[in-house]
Amino acid sequence: MESDETEMRETVRELAEALETMLNLIRADALPTTPEAHGLMHKAMAFLDEASHRITAPDGPGEILPLAAALNRLILSGREQIIDDAIAASPVPDHPDM
């Protein structure tokens, strides 16, 4: 296995771990989420389910990078939506006028 392929496989594993962490936070209700955030996470999970075989046993060279890039975009979208939801649900700071 070439070093580039080894690096890409590790990247995909890291992305999957990040997705799992975000999903566990959602399941534990640790962060407020909206239907948009849930939709993005479901989309990312479905993509990961569909692509998992191609990630672990690619048909040819160059197949892993586009999958990892697409998964990364989905995860980033979900993460950003979760952060936006958390910020929107946070109380306004109670600072005296300056």
Question: pLDDT tens digit string along 10-69?
Answer: 777 777 777 777 777 777 776 667 888 888 878 888 988 888 888 778 887 778 778 878
Q: Give the type of residue at 80.
A: E
d(CA 25, CA 31) in angstroms, rounded, equals 7
pLDDT interval class at 73 (50, 70, 90): confident
Place of tokens 């296995």: 1
Q: Which residue has the higher pLDDT, 96 or 68?
A: 68
d(CA 71, CA 88) in angstroms, rounded, equals 26
